[in-house]
Amino acid sequence: MFTRIKKALPYEYLQVVENQWRDGKSHQRVLWTIGRVDRLKEKGTIDKLLRSLAKYSERALLLLAGVSDPNAEVVKIGPGLIFERLWERSGIKEVIKGLLQDHKFGFDVERAIFLTVLHRLFSPGSDRRAESWRKGYRIKGVEKIQLHHLYRAMAWLGSPLGDEEQYGRTPFTSRCLKDVIEERLFVRNLDLFSELTLVFFDTTSLYFEGEGGETIGQHGHSKDHRPDLKQMVVGVILDGEGNPICCELWPGNTTDVRTLLPVVDRLKKRFHITQVCIVSDRGMISKKTIEELEKPPQDISYILGVRMHKQKEVSQEVLSRAGAYRVVHPERTHCKDPSPLKVKEVQVEKRRYILCYNPEQARKDAQDREAIVESLRDKLKQGDKSLVGNKGYRRYLNSKGPHFIIDEKKVKEDARYDGKWVLRTNTDLPAEKVALQYKQLWTVEKIFRDTKSLLQTRPIFHKCDETIRGHVFCSFLALVVRKELDRLLQKAGHKFEWQEIKDGLKNLQETRIKEDGKELFVRSQSRGCCGKVFQAVGVAFPPTLRLEP
């Protein structure tokens, strides 16, 4: 007994048939015509029927119960299904395919790049592992991809453009193919970028296990505390909504301050922007940087955080200036209310500062300091030698003879900064607008933290600049599809942690059993947030049971 498809154009019907031996020949007898195939699939009737029949098949029952079969092959199907759709929705697949039209490779470059990006998302690490990692997943079109294909694909992404296409390059690196992909993605998704006048800029560094390429690996200030190894600097630019725009790659001895102005100029040329307002944290500000930003013809708008403790003008004049605060957000009455915020504008000669104050944060800072000082008093009674290495304690200590004492002056001075932060800007925006724009940076910084965790895909063993650039750019593409997923989940009203999403998708598996020349596939049940992720992205679940000849 078996099933067959009876074609009666334009429809197909599913029938249950048995073989009978009559007059020395085999004859088929139709026992039951179940119905039209398209309607059965639409209503899920076939899945229900298979589950019902499974009660009379010990083998099918074992499969549905999740019991492993010695001859079964289990693969994870959730990551490939979801991110294949996001890969298409974000436009990455279309852009890469378009650029590959004039190239002839002996393998599918687009599939190799997708495999690398998916590997970064679910198992960050060396590209050497991606080839073996994929065997535990069902990923469309990567069956023949080998390690040297991944390297060649990354070298293609990082390959320099011709001399006639080097407009807008920075002094630190040439324009590469990955820049073209970023620009085409920007044009394609222009509706996502409501207004590209406000950009957020942050950098990180990546060190190399080997030589670090021909030019890009250099010794510099290591944020990873590995001054013994060569490194590169990676800059990421996001728009005001946190959408990734592009990533910039420089040799490891390039400082953040040196990169800021060339990056702004390059942004204008690459994305045809007339005016840019840079919003950046305290690590980017310096007197020289601000002077360069304000010089004509740049005349670049900026909102920059100030290091309050290190700048005398701020600590002595801005924080001491009298004047009433304006309330932007009052004290909370509900946990979902915005955090309280007050602002005060301070002008020092021609320099405009915005002093921001959060009374809720001020109370927390005071409580934290009080707890530290109280703990410090107890520790001092027991001996002070163990306190030297504790930075939290050290800031309030002073040496007097052979022992340490609490410096009450430092404690009092520290209280001046409770709940406060200072911004410097050359915009004519109202003070409250400046403060809110900078606060948006804190939201974007969460994306930066996610970005850095993706970008820091070590160890990096590549020896050529092209493959190094392609390696990092694959991490940027991973950030793009992650952002697209976050956008769809937010639209659907969901908020999940990334680890929760990864676990849910990896738990969706499919078991394949070969028997009598046929293959039976059984899908596991969805767990956790997996179902909601599929629904938000618009991907249909595969059938619970399917049979292939």
pLDDT tens, position by position, 469-495: 888 898 889 989 998 998 999 899 998
Q: Is residue 442 part of a domain?
A: yes
Pair 299, 398 in one domain:
no
Is the bond preceding residue 338 a cis peptide, omega within 30 degrees?
no
Handedness of CA 106, 110, 112, 113 (dihedral sign): positive
How far is residue 162's CA from residue 184's CA, in Å, rounded to a whole number?
18
Edge-to-edge strand list for the sheet holding 2-8: 2-8, 11-22, 25-36
Pair 203, 349 in one domain:
yes
Helices (H), 272-415: 287-294, 312, 359-382, 391-394, 408-415
Pair 244, 372 in one domain:
no
Total structural domains within the chain: 2
Pair 298, 431 in one domain:
yes
Pair 387, 407 in one domain:
yes
How far is residue 103's CA from residue 110's CA, in Å, rounded to a whole number?
12
How far is residue 414's CA from residue 319's CA, in Å, rounded to a whole number?
12
Nearest to 185 by CA among 386, 511, 451, 481: 481
Residue 520: per-residue pLDDT: 77
How far is residue 297's CA from residue 436's CA, in Å, rounded to a whole number?
28
Pair 342, 240 in one domain:
yes
Last residue of a domain, one of 432, 463, 494: 463
Last residue of a domain, one of 347, 380, 415: 415
Q: Is residue 180 part of a domain?
A: no
Q: Is residue 515 part of a domain?
A: no
Residue 58: per-residue pLDDT: 47
Name residues of the chain where pLDDT drops below 70: 1, 50-51, 53-71, 125-126, 168, 191-199, 202, 209-213, 223-224, 240, 255-260, 274-275, 281-286, 297-299, 383-394, 399-402, 441-463, 515-518, 549
What's the one-letter identity of residue 137? Y
Q: Is residue 537 part of a domain?
A: no
Last residue of a domain, one of 399, 415, 431: 415
Six token digits for residue 177? 């193919």
Cβ 359 vs Cβ 351: under 8 Å:
no
Give the H/E segment covering residue 83.
helix 78-89
Q: Is residue 132 part of a domain?
A: no
Pair 346, 424 in one domain:
yes
Q: What angle do helix axes 78-89 and 465-491 make, rounded to 10 degrees?
A: 90
**Cα angle value 312/314/318 (rounded, 5°):** 135
Q: In degrees rounded to 5, what are phi and psi of residue 509? A: -125, 165
Pair 236, 269 in one domain:
yes
Pair 350, 380 in one domain:
no
Q: What is the pTM of this model?
A: 0.71
- In sequence order, what are the residues at sequence separation of 6 or more whose Cβ sits closer than 8 angstroms to the Cβ of residue 149? 107, 109, 112
The SS3 assignment for 451 reads helix
Domain span at 396 = 361-415
Q: What share of the chain is helix, strand, coil (3-state, %, to 5)?
A: 45, 25, 35
Q: Is residue 211 part of a domain?
A: yes
Residue 45: per-residue pLDDT: 78
- In sequence order, what are the residues at sequence separation of 6 or more whose Cβ sits closer than 8 angstroms to the Cβ of residue 15? 3, 4, 5, 6, 30, 31, 32, 33, 34
Residue 311: per-residue pLDDT: 81
Cβ 373 vs Cβ 396: under 8 Å:
yes
- In sequence order, what are the residues at sequence separation of 6 or more whose Cβ sits closer than 8 angstroms to the Cβ of residue 279? 198, 199, 200, 201, 302, 303, 304, 437, 438, 440, 441
Pair 305, 215 in one domain:
yes
- In sequence order, what are the residues at sequence separation of 6 or more whose Cβ sits closer than 8 angstroms to the Cβ of residue 183? 246, 270, 271
Six token digits for residue 436? 């809110």
Cβ 14 vs Cβ 3: under 8 Å:
yes
Q: Is residue 125 part of a domain?
A: no
Helices (H), 430-515: 431-455, 465-491, 498-506
How far is residue 161's CA from residue 99's CA, in Å, rounded to a whole number?
13
Q: Is residue 181 part of a domain?
A: no
Backbone dihedral region for residue 169 (phi beyond 0: left; psi -120 to 50: alpha; all else: beta): beta
Residue 282: per-residue pLDDT: 60
Pair 196, 276 in one domain:
yes
Edge-to-edge strand list for the sheet holding 420-425: 244-251, 231-239, 198-207, 277-280, 301-305, 420-425, 351-357, 341-348, 326-329
Q: How far is CA 418 from the centre of its chain?
A: 32
Cβ 73 vs Cβ 511: under 8 Å:
yes
How far is residue 492's CA from residue 146's CA, in Å, rounded to a whole number?
38
The SS3 assignment for 300 reads coil
Pair 242, 369 in one domain:
no
pLDDT tens, position by position, 361-392: 999 999 988 888 888 877 777 766 666 555 55
CATH classification of the domain holding 271: 3.90.350.10
Nearest to 113 by CA among 480, 504, 447, 509: 480
